[in-house]
Structure 1
Amino acid sequence: MALPMQRCWARLRALTLPWPAAGYHARPRIWGLDNIYKPDPNDPATKCWHKGPPYEAKLYGRFGSASGVNPENLWPSPQQLQDIEEEEKEWCPSLREMLDRLEATEKEELRKQTERKRLIAANLAKMPKMVEEWRRSKKEAKQKERDEKARKERLLAFAREKFGVHVDSRSPKFQELMKELDKEEKKKMKALKKKQREEERAAVAAVLSAIPAAAKPAPPTPDTPV
């Protein structure tokens, strides 16, 4: 295994040119005092990470005053310092602030639990009445359904007597007859309610007439306060 590798390397060395194939010559570095590499910030070829306060802070941290960097320029401006303090307050709160937030969260959770328990207790107290109303509504719905079914059967029987045994409920004559019967039933119900109101008024008038005149309250006079 070693012999083929040696032959391969020998052939590669034989094919190597005596000068650089790319003809590339690297730009010499700009060295300052004490062999410190300081790139030119005005050169467009200078990389972005070799410019600005971060790189100068790196040089000053490594070489100190020998780097030629003024440490006053590395200190943040008042606006930057204010931004840093606000960021620290947001992401690194103090222990007291964290305890206050935790206490407020626990109070809010306790309030929600208390409100939920109160709502459950109120709903449980209303449960019998709600169940009774639901049963009554179901009973009324069933009664209304039976009444509607009986009404349709009654109208169908009346239509059979008038038009014959075979009658189509979708025919225009049947629909017209249904409308007329609905109007008649509404008139009857209206007259019945009116009669009931008149009977109630007559009963109240009879009761009032039976009361002696002395027992009746005197009508208020303009000088008498009501």
Structure 2
Amino acid sequence: MYIILIHTITVTSTIPAMTLPRCLYSQQAGDRESEKTPEWQKTAKYDRKLFGRYGSSSGIDPAKLWPNHAQLKEMIAEEREWNPPLQVMLKNVEAKTKEANAKRLAREKLVAANMAKMPKMVADWRKEKREVKQKLKDEKARRERLLAEARERFGYAMDPRSPKFLEMVSEIEKEEKKKRKLMKRRLKEEQSHAPAAASSADSSS
């Protein structure tokens, strides 16, 4: 911005100024404080435009066109923000490159880990599928067995949703639970008797 300003003042100093239009004489005479003068004609931007076009004929002091210390500081900060030095730009590019490489490596590592797990995941999926299939098969066989037992017990085919059938199933499940409990107890007793029999056989020999 301040570079453009310097260029404008330099050019106008070497090119003959245009004649100031009659409608601008009032401003040159100091009538800028009048209420009739538009606000946009009272700005420094407008003064620069007039001086750039009409030069000294505009009656504007070129020294007033320069930015003050605060404006210059703001312009320099803006210039650094939008057009940083080459060293800063290179550091920014390097930082962004490192960040992109880190993300890429993390993504590749994740993909490799998932690929390594893939055989086990496939094996687990197949095992689960076999177990579900076997469970459905067992349920179907059990249902057919219960229906056959109900037909044999009552002499006719029963609706598996009927209360009588469900009551029979409940009784059978209780009986099977008792049998499993009894078999577990017998197995435990046989295991406890086995060491005693072995020790007595060793002592007799």
TM-score when normalising by structure 1: 0.57
Counterpart of 2:8 in structure 1 is none
Letter of the 2:164 partner, please give it.
K
Match of 1:40, SS? helix
- Conserved in 2, the CA contact under 8 Å of 1:159 and 1:167? yes
Displacement, 1:145?
Answer: 1.4
Counterpart of 1:155 in structure 2 is 146
1:63 aligns to 2:52 (yes or no): no
Find the aligned partners of 2:167 and 2:143 in 1 and give their Cα distance. Answer: 14
- Conserved in 2, the CA contact under 8 Å of 1:160 and 1:166? yes
Counterpart of 2:192 in structure 1 is 202
RMSD: 3.9
- Conserved in 1, the CA contact under 8 Å of 2:150 and 2:157? no
Find the aligned partners of 1:139 and 1:67 in 2 and give their Cα distance. Answer: 97
Find the aligned partners of 1:200 and 1:47 in 2 and give their Cα distance. Answer: 113
Letter of the 1:31 partner, please give it.
Y
Find the aligned partners of 1:85 and 1:75 in 2 and give their Cα distance. Answer: 11
Counterpart of 2:105 in structure 1 is 114
1:103 aligns to 2:59 (yes or no): no
Displacement, 1:194?
Answer: 4.7
Counterpart of 1:216 in structure 2 is none
The correspondence for 2:25, drawn from 28, 31, 34, is 31
The correspondence for 2:67, drawn from 69, 72, 75, is 75
Question: Relative to total residues, which structure has the larger helix share, 1 or 2?
Answer: 2
Could you tell me the percent identity over the aligned residues? 43
- Conserved in 2, the CA contact under 8 Å of 1:53 and 1:74? no
Displacement, 1:136?
Answer: 1.8
Change (3 A) 1:91 1:206: farther
Letter of the 2:59 partner, please give it.
S
Find the aligned partners of 2:151 and 2:74 in 1 and give their Cα distance. Answer: 92
Match of 2:160, SS? coil
Gaps of 5+ in 1: 1-27, 211-226
Find the aligned partners of 1:154 and 1:183 in 2 and give their Cα distance. Answer: 16
Find the aligned partners of 2:166 and 2:68 in 1 and give their Cα distance. Answer: 90
TM-score when normalising by structure 2: 0.62
Q: Which has the higher contact order (CA 8 A, sep 6+)?
A: 2
Displacement, 1:135?
Answer: 2.2
Q: Number of aligned residue pairs: give it.
A: 176
Find the aligned partners of 2:189 and 2:77 in 1 and give their Cα distance. Answer: 83
- Conserved in 2, the CA contact under 8 Å of 1:57 and 1:74? no
Which of structure 1's runs of 4+ aligned residues deviate more than 6 A? none
Match of 1:116, SS? helix
- Conserved in 2, the CA contact under 8 Å of 1:30 and 1:39? no
Match of 1:166, SS? coil
Counterpart of 1:129 in structure 2 is 120
- Conserved in 2, the CA contact under 8 Å of 1:31 and 1:37? yes
